Amino acid sequence: MNPSLARLQPYPFERLRALLAGAQPPANLSPIAMYIGEPRHTPPSFILEAITANLSTLGAYPLTLGVQPLRQAIADWLTRRFRLPPNAVDPETMVLPVNGTREALFAAAQAITDRSAQPLMVMPNPFYQIYEGAALLAGAEPWFMGNDKQHTDLPDLDGVPPEVWNRCQLLFLCSPGNPTGAVASIDYLKRALELADRYDFIVASDECYSEIYLDESNPPPGLLQAALAAGHSRFERCLIFHSLSKRSSVPGLRSGFVAGDPAVIKPFLLYRTYHGCAMPVHTQLASIPAWNDDQHVIENRSLYRQKFAKVLPILRSVMEVEAPDASFYLWPKVKDDERFTRGLFETQNVTVLPGSYIARESNGVNPGRGRVRISLVANVPECEEAAQRIRAFVANG
C-alpha cells in the first residue's frame, strides 16, 4: 500500500461522528444540519429537465476533454462573470470539465508534483482538507500559512520564508475562503503571481464559493482577472477551479471545471485521460444551460442574504460573529469548539463543525480552535430556527 495513506488524518465529518457518538438529542426537536457545505436549495428545474432529456447518451463513453459546447459555455461565463476581454479564454486549450472541484483539486496535485525535488505545497490554515490529502498522496509536504499581519482571514503570503517558496510547486488559495469567507483582492492575487514567477510554482485558486456574496454590486474577483492585470495574457502559472455545486445548488451533479494556463491544462488532460474521470455526457449537456443562465444564481444569492439577515441579529446577542465577505459560512468564536458542538447537539439537535477539525496546529497554535463553522445551507425558516436554538444554548450555558 502507498505509505502516505497512513499520514492522512480522519476527514472532519468522521471526527464529528466520533465526537457526537452516544449523544441523545431531544426527540421533540427536529434535526438541523449546519456542519457541511452542501446547498439544499431547490435545484433549477431546467437543469433537471436537461438531465432527463439526455439520458440516451448513457450508451456512449464520454470524452475526457468534454463536449465543445460545454467548454464554450464555460469560457463565455468566465468572460461575462470576470469581465475578461473577448476571446481571452480559449475553450479549446484553456478549459477542462471535471467532476467537481474536490476531484479536480486532488488530481491536479498528482499531475503537477515532481516527487524528485523535495516538493512542498503551500496552503491556507484553516483549509479544505483535500489540499492536505492531495499534497501527501502526491509525495509532497503540506506547509500551512498563517493569517496576515493585519489580522484578516487571508493567508500571509509574505510570511512564508524564501526557503519554503524555493521548494513550493503548488500554492493552494481559496477565495472566497472556506471557512472564513474572506475575499482576496486583485492586488493580493497579483502578489501570489509575483511569487509564483519568482520561485517557479503554480497557483491553484479554489473559487467554488465565488457566486455566493452579500453585495450584488461587488462580486469577488478571480485569479484570471489578476493574471491579466499582472501581464499574464495566457494565464501563465494559473489554474482556477469552479463548480455548479454552490452556484446552482446541485452538489450531486458533480460538475465543474478547471481553467487557466494551457501549458498546464494540456498535460493535466493527459493525466486525466489515464485517470478515467471523464464527466458523463448527460451531465455535460445539463451543465451547459446552467453556465449559460445567471438569473437563477442571482435568486440563489438572494436566499443566502435572507438567511444572513435573519440569523446574524439573533446570534450577535450572545456571541462574537460577523457576516463574511462571501460564502455561506459563519465562523464565530466559542470557548471550546468540541464542547460547544457536542453540547449544542445534545440539547438543541443542531449540528455544527468544530473549527479545530478543519485546521492544523502550526507553531503551537491551531487557528480553528475556539471557533465553529456554521453552514447556512438549510432553508430560511430552518436557519432562523437554528439560530434561535443556538442563542438559547449559549444563553443557558
Reported as a pLDDT band with limits 50, 70 and 90, residue 150 is low
Reported as a pLDDT band with limits 50, 70 and 90, residue 146 is confident
Task: Indicate if 386 and 279 belong to the same structural domain.
Answer: no
Query: What is the layout of strands, in order, in the sheet containing 168-174?
Result: 95-98, 256-260, 238-243, 202-206, 168-174, 120-123, 141-144
Residue 263: Cβ-neighbour burial (10 angstroms; 0-12, 13-18, 19+): middle
**Residue 147: predicted pLDDT:** 81
* Partners of 238 in beta bridges: 203
Helical ranges in the chain per DSSP H = 12-20, 45-53, 68-81, 101-112, 129-137, 162-167, 186-199, 223-229, 244-247, 262-275, 281-292, 295-316, 337-348, 380-395
Q: Is the peptide bond before 221 cis (omega within 30 degrees of 0)?
A: no
**Residue 52: predicted pLDDT:** 95
Residue 130 lies in a domain: yes
For range 133-152, the mean pLDDT: 86
Residue 54 lies in a domain: no
Task: Indicate if 275 and 320 belong to the same structural domain.
Answer: no
pLDDT at 237 over 60: yes
CATH of the domain at 123: 3.40.640.10
User: Of 270, 293, 316, which closes a domain?
Assistant: 293
* Partners of 353 in beta bridges: 373
Task: Indicate if 245 and 139 belong to the same structural domain.
Answer: yes
- Per residue in 342-383, pLDDT tens? 999 999 999 999 999 999 998 888 999 999 999 999 999 999
Helix pair angle (68-81, 281-292), 10° resolution? 30
Per the rule left: phi > 0, alpha: psi between -120 and 50, beta: everything else, 73 is alpha
Reported as a pLDDT band with limits 50, 70 and 90, residue 84 is very high
pLDDT at 236 over 80: yes
User: Of 248, 263, 293, which closes a domain?
Assistant: 293
Task: Indicate if 285 and 309 belong to the same structural domain.
Answer: no
Task: Indicate if 86 and 128 belong to the same structural domain.
Answer: yes
Residue 53 lies in a domain: no
Total domain count, the chain: 2
Residue 358 lies in a domain: yes
**Residue 55: predicted pLDDT:** 94
CATH of the domain at 373: 3.90.1150.10
Residue 49 lies in a domain: no
pLDDT at 387 over 70: yes
Reported as a pLDDT band with limits 50, 70 and 90, residue 163 is very high
Residue 51 lies in a domain: no
Q: Mean pLDDT of all residues in the chain? A: 96
Task: Indicate if 252 and 325 belong to the same structural domain.
Answer: no
Task: Indicate if 97 and 245 belong to the same structural domain.
Answer: yes
What is the reported pTM? 0.96
Reported as a pLDDT band with limits 50, 70 and 90, residue 170 is very high
**Residue 363: predicted pLDDT:** 85
Task: Indicate if 116 and 173 belong to the same structural domain.
Answer: yes
User: Of 293, 319, 339, which closes a domain?
Assistant: 293
Q: Under a CB-based contact definition with an 8 Å cutoff, are residues 11 and 131 in contact? A: no
Q: Under a CB-based contact definition with an 8 Å cutoff, are residues 166 and 205 in contact? A: no
Domain that holds residue 24: 3-42+296-395
Task: Indicate if 362 and 274 belong to the same structural domain.
Answer: no
Residue in the block written with cell 524528485: 116
**Residue 309: predicted pLDDT:** 97
Residue 245 lies in a domain: yes
Task: Indicate if 140 and 211 belong to the same structural domain.
Answer: yes
Q: Is the peptide bond before 179 cis (omega within 30 degrees of 0)?
A: yes
Residue 47 lies in a domain: no
Task: Indicate if 249 and 379 belong to the same structural domain.
Answer: no
Report how far residue 383's alpha carbon sits from residue 299's, in angstroms, rounded to the nearest whole number.
Answer: 17
Task: Indicate if 303 and 288 belong to the same structural domain.
Answer: no
Report how far residue 161's alpha carbon sits from residue 31's, in angstroms, rounded to the nearest whole number.
Answer: 46
